[in-house]
A and B are shown apart, each in its own frame.
Chain A
């Protein structure tokens, strides 16, 4: 069941989204060679709690950390640890915050220092694919319009999109209906309506789209070891078009 949100609910989700944006901005300032992903996670949790929120991912289906990290060939769901970031890495960070009962969810992939040509192109294409998907989050459209736009941009840049994991509705729960795939034909899937709030989140691989999961049961990597980038925003569908909720004017 797709849960439509009232204006008041969307305002509360905007607050959660702003906090997510602030956390990610702070984390982005701390992403540099030598830093461990555990240090980033520790900072994020403290920041979220200090601002009245709760890190949504912590404990979700047993996930053991407040944020997900995804260095290089990790696509999603990586668990922060003692590994130090190195010059030239790329690092995806996925942050979820529950504030006043509502969830904000956003991911961004950062370059660590200077990255190579392939990494730079991948980040640009993945972020552009997210923008293309958001532009299709219009009342009267279909969920498939979003995935088709995302996939087109990624493929035109020579990359592939992951198919085993998808975007989703967001609200009081992190994962609500509908599923929002990053692929497929336009004009298919549930009708987009004013009041829907969805997370659009392309996972773009430099190589093939297939993934494998580590023995920890969480960390998802590209099967061929290629780089992967993940960008995400929580977006409200309004009569005036898409509104990105996970932005902060102050950042």
Chain B
């Protein structure tokens, strides 16, 4: 009897919160994937988009926030500007804009 396929990784542009490791509780923006298990995440401060952190999918939770206005920054084939990441995380933490339909992963 087949099992369900694992849920897909959150796409670039989604916000996640670390649930394990020394950075537990830190929020990041997904900027890419490595294989089907790892997310490349950045916050535009300690982790700039050009040097993203590799996080196991199991060690983050998806934050129920998404603002489509930022989607264009993640479809250009190059890392988004760090100031965009900082702005997204500020907006997410302030609960501004976006939707909260995703729920936690």
Contact = CB atoms under 8 A, between A and B. Distances in A.
B5 A165 contact: yes
A76 B5 contact: no
Interface in A168-183: 168, 174-175, 179, 181
A60 B1 contact: yes
Contact of A165 (B4, B35, B36, B37): B4
Contacts of A179: 3, 5-6
A188 interface: yes
A76 to B, nearest CB: 6
A105 B35 contact: no
B78 to A, nearest CB: 23
A181 B5 contact: yes
A77 interface: yes
A76 B2 CA distance: 8
A96 to B, nearest CB: 6
A107 B95 CA distance: 49
The secondary-structure label for the interface of chain B is loop
Interface residues of B, number: 9
B35 A68 contact: no
A166 B36 contact: no
B7 to A, nearest CB: 11
B36 A188 contact: yes
A232 B36 CA distance: 23
Nearest to B5: A166
Contacts of A203: 2
B6 to A, nearest CB: 6
A164 B1 contact: no
Interface string B1-17: 11111100000000000
A94 B2 CA distance: 9
Q: Which 4 A-B pairs have the closest CB atoms?
A: A165-B2, A168-B3, A175-B3, A166-B5
Given A94-B1, A167-B2, A168-B3, 14 more contacts: A56-B1, A77-B1, A96-B1, A105-B1, A165-B2, A165-B4, A165-B5, A166-B3, A167-B3, A168-B2, A174-B1, A188-B36, A201-B2, A230-B2
